[in-house]
Amino acid sequence: MNIVYNHSILPLNDCTLTLQDRGFLYGDGVFETLRFQSNTLYYWDAHWDRMDSACSALDLLHPFINKKADLYDLIIELIQSNSLTEARIKIIVRRQSGGFYSPEASTADLFVLCSEWKKPVERKQNVFFIRDYKNHFHKLSAYKTLSSMRYIIAGLELKKYKGDEAILVDIDGNISECLYSNIFWIKNNTLYTPGAETGCIEGIRRKQIIDYCIDNNISLRIGSFRLQELLSADTVFTANVNGFSFLESIENRTFQTSHPWVETLRENT
């Protein structure tokens, strides 16, 4: 498997990290996950903008600052070098070594990994709420950072209870997001999704869905919603750049696993 390290494509085994690596020591960096299908790197502009915004928030200067087209071309070359026609792409920006909690530099390295794309599960049956960690809004909560402990804790609970999906809530008990995706539900011909104030990731597919609803006059509510709001829904689903999944059952409450709006959003976002 080949990877990108800054401006070069090289075999994965040729890339070595030291114990002084700030990603290893402090989780000092951000990442983006993208999908490549039909010769298209989906939502490239939106991913670039979010990565650029996240790097600005962390004062990170990666090697492709102001070189979006160059990075795009290098990612396509990487996919081809790995003989993939459908791929999951992960871009990692990690601050260069030096300093303790206070870093010595703003310069950063950039890595790109790719693997075979896998279609998401269509229906998830065993879904439950995370009890041991609460999301909260802060300067970086909208971004994907290398410090992903909240999702690790959620993943441990998911594994413990042999679940298919986990739902995180915020410190006030409002629905926030799922382990791998943003969450949506439909009730009385209105689409609901939690707002950024709940500490959820501002997902790229989430943005496409919101924009589509606004442009096509689909009733949409974004905000803070209690658990009961979700549990009284007709249909619940998750979405990320890889696709959509219906949540069939949440802690013994069952939901419809088809809805024409979901199929419309699947086809148009």
Is the pLDDT at 84 greater than 90? The verdict is yes
DSSP 30: E
Backbone angles phi and psi of 76, in degrees to 5: -60, -40
Rounded Cα distance, 60 and 83, in Å: 32
What is the structure's pLDDT at 15?
Answer: 86
Tell me what pLDDT residue 49 has. 97
Cα-Cα-Cα-Cα torsion 185, 242, 166, 27, nearest 10 degrees, comes to -130
Q: Tell me how far apart the alpha carbons of residues 43 and 209 are, in angstroms, rounded to a whole number.
A: 12
pLDDT averaged over every residue in the chain:
95
| Residues 237-269: tens digit of each pLDDT | 999 999 999 999 998 899 999 999 999 999 999
The predicted pLDDT at position 113 comes to 97
Q: How far apart are CA 125 and CA 184, in angstroms?
A: 16
Mean pLDDT for 161-187 is 96
- 181 pLDDT higher than 90: yes
Which of 80-89, 156-165, 170-179, 235-244 has the least mean pLDDT? 156-165
Give the model's confidence band at 131: pLDDT under 50 very low, under 70 low, under 90 confident, else very high: confident
Q: Which residue's structure tokens are 């075999």? A: 11
Q: How far is Cα 42 from Cα 76, in angstroms, rounded to an integer?
A: 12
Asked if 255 contacts 236 with a C-beta cutoff of 8 angstroms, the reply is yes
Percent of all residues in the chain with a pLDDT value above 90, rounded to a whole number: 91
Quote the pLDDT of residue 151.
Answer: 92
**Contact between 22 and 97 (Cβ < 8 Å):** yes
DSSP class of residue 61 equals: B
pLDDT attached to residue 161: 87
Domains by residue range for the chain, with CATH? 2-116 (3.30.470.10), 123-268 (3.20.10.10)
- Residue position matching structure tokens 């699947």: 266
- For residue 12, the model assigns a pLDDT of 92
pLDDT digits (tens, 9 = 90+) for 196-239: 999 999 999 999 999 999 999 999 999 999 999 999 999 999 99
Q: Please, are residues 51 and 30 in contact by the beta-carbon 8 Å criterion?
A: yes
Q: Can you read off the two tokens belonging to residue 33?
A: 């996950």
> What pLDDT, on the 0 to 100 scale, is given for residue 188?
94
Residue with tokens 């539900």: 185
Contact 21, 11 (CB under 8 A): no
| Closest CA relative to residue 247, chosen from 181, 156, 162 | 181
- Amino acid 121: pLDDT: 93
Give pLDDT, residue 19: 87
pLDDT band at 18 (very low <50, low <70, confident <90, very high): confident
Tokens representing residue 231 in the block: 């549990």
| Mean pLDDT (whole number) for 93-108 | 95
Res. 110 pLDDT band, cuts 50 70 90: very high
Read off the DSSP letter of residue 5.
E
Axis crossing angle, helix 44-57 with helix 68-81, rounded to the nearest 10? 120
Residue 251 CA to residue 128 CA, distance in Å, equals 5
Which residue type, as a one-letter code, is found at position 258? S
